[in-house]
Amino acid sequence: MRVIRSIHKVLSEFKRRNHLDYFPLRRSLRGYNTIQAKGDLRAGINVALLAFPQGMAYAAIAGLPIQYGIFASAIAAMLGPIFSGSRFIVLGPTNATSVLVFASFLSLGVMADEKIPLISLTVLLSGIFLVMGAFLKVANLIQYISRSVVTGYITAAAIYIIVNQLKKALGFEITLPQGSTFLTVIWLTLKGLPATHWPTFLLSVTAFGLYWVLDRRYKLLPNVAITLVVMSVAGFAMNNLLGNFTDLAPVITLTAVDATQWRFSFPDISGDLVSQVASVSLVIAFLSVLEGTSIGKSLASRAGQKLDSNQEMLGMGIANIGCAFYQGMPASGSLTRSQLNWVSGAFTPMASIISGIICAIGAYSLGPFTRFIPVSVLAVLVIAIGFSLINRHVIRVVWNATGSDRIVFATTFLAALLIRLDFAIILGTATSVLLFLRKAAQPELTEFTQDDAGQLTPLSDQDSEATPEISIVHVEGDLFFGASEIFRDQMRRVCEKASLKIVVLKMRNAYHLDATSVLALEELIRYMREQDRTLLITEVRKDAIRIFKNSGLIEVIGRENIFPDNPSNPTIATAKALRRAMQLMGGKEADVRIYLGKSKKAAT
């Protein structure tokens, strides 16, 4: 019993520290009423009418049997809200994760018949990574990923989707060799153009025109579903005509979905397979939380609420684990389904659960009829979805905002098209972080002086030749490891003037000190002492004082040379430091020069 109590205590403490709720749906069900139920039912039906055909389309993008998209739409929509407790995100297959699965398997040389055992393992590992990330609060770090990375990836993925579906829309097949890139797909597609099946091409053009008209004029209708139904009838009629009056091959259609085969199955977790897909699974998990939380935060802000990203990450992880056991593909937060759920008046997470139940019913009742859907029509709808992902406004903003955004976007975009999609996300994120560190690690000092009225004014070229005995340096910004060396070198340049005796360092607005910045200060102090000069540090906040004490720097500087910040009297610390400086100067009057930390330049 003592062991059980100890385990329970440890688990309780772990739960308390992580602030995760393991069954948040119960909060939504308290006081659940008829009005909420009607709103959730209406939203659930609308979302299901979109999710069912979208699931097929996304499975086609990933190069998987269409039932994997349908099953994932059902499982993720039902499981996710139970553990996320949010009404803002509807989980299921998405464009971003689907094209990542396709491109990653292609680069790994995975053939069509090898995808089935690998996809379940990939989804399982992605779910495990997401659950682990939720407990480690990884979602809190997502805010530091540049929007330029996401925009570059999504734009490249959209182009990849469009190009890869052209062969199906034109009615011919191509064999992609291992390690194929975007350029390989384009070249093989161009080579295959003479093999275009013209009845299929005609059907594709008609399908695109129908969807375009519906999407422009009747946005509130389930246009994907309507296009599939109408064009399936047209395809059936065309095949009858082709069979009776011509020698042309029929239009190829999908295979029927046999939902009776939808059952629990445990993925193969052999070591070789895990090592093969682990990196892909990690990137899928990363992209899923990035995509899902950005959508959820946008909708939550419109409702005047705050989204718990780590709780959403937990729900997303469990949903993916469920998909892995029930023949589903990776699930993330869907922009179109989440938006539709919101505008349809969903009150609680039950709306998503209802849509999942309807998709599951549809898999059994409508699955046999999918054999009438032309492959080319589904490809055309996938192409249309791909075009919708290219957001020209966002691309224009990202490209014109700053040079750093432009570099990150271009790096991610080109890497996604020319190398690999999963690698592009990693490379784009690394580039974004490096450029941020470069900007954050460029502190500048501008010299100011006091006029006769006591006002601070910039030094003129003539005044800049003056040689002060006491310099006041105002530091603003981060003094983390990336900025420490530059700060130290700039301070050395401040100390180069021959008459300088004392430097007063104001640190009220200096943040994020670390071991590197402490060592840089130590080196600066030694350098100044070698030059017979003294460093005084003033307006030091409590967190910096603690770092000074823990590292032993306070003894190196000297307690008498440190003046803690006093928020109630902001100038008292610097006044004390100046009195200390005068004392070190022997009480005589000194020429005082003031330096202020200049705000960083705009990124270039």
pLDDT at 126: 95
The CATH number that domain 444-598 falls under is 3.30.750.24
Could you report the per-residue pLDDT of 17-42, keeping only the tens digit for each?
A: 667 777 788 887 888 889 999 999 99
Confidence of residue 385 (pLDDT cuts 50, 70, 90): confident
Please give the single-letter amino acid code of residue 506.
Answer: K
Tell me the CA distances in angstroms from 97 to 62, 63, 386, 427, 604, one per residue in order.
8, 12, 13, 17, 32
Please determine, for residue 297, whether its predicted confidence score (pLDDT) is greater than 80. no
Helix/strand/coil (H, E, C) string of 145-184? Answer: CCHHHHHHHHHHHHHHHHHHHHHHHHCCCCCCCCCCCHHH
CA distance 318 to 314: 6
Could you report the per-residue pLDDT of 258-275, keeping only the tens digit for each?
A: 888 788 888 888 878 888
Could you report the per-residue pLDDT of 540-598, keeping only the tens digit for each?
A: 888 888 988 888 888 888 888 999 988 888 878 888 888 888 888 776 555 555 544 44
Boundaries of every domain in the chain: 41-435, 444-598
Please determine, for residue 603, whether its predicted confidence score (pLDDT) is greater than 90. no
Bridge partners (DSSP) of residue 445 are: 597
Bridge partners (DSSP) of residue 473 are: 505, 595
CA distance 524 to 522: 5
End-to-end CA distance of the chain: 64
Which has the minimum average pLDDT: 173-187, 226-240, 460-474, 479-493?
A: 460-474
| Higher-scoring residue by pLDDT: 437, 529 | 529
**Which of the 8 DSSP states describes residue 109?**
T
The torsion angles phi and psi of 244, rounded to 5 degrees, stand at -90, -30
367's CB contacts (< 8 A; 6+ apart) are: 67, 70, 256, 257, 258, 259
Please determine, for residue 326, whether its predicted confidence score (pLDDT) is greater than 60. yes
Residue 107: name the closest of 172, 160, 54 by CA: 160
Determine the distance from the C-alpha atom of residue 115 to the mean position of all C-alpha atoms in its chain, rounded to a whole number: 26
- Helix, strand, coil percent content, the chain, rounded in steps of 5: 65, 10, 25
Mean pLDDT of 177-184: 74
For tokens 């009629």, the residue is 237
571's CB contacts (< 8 A; 6+ apart) are: none
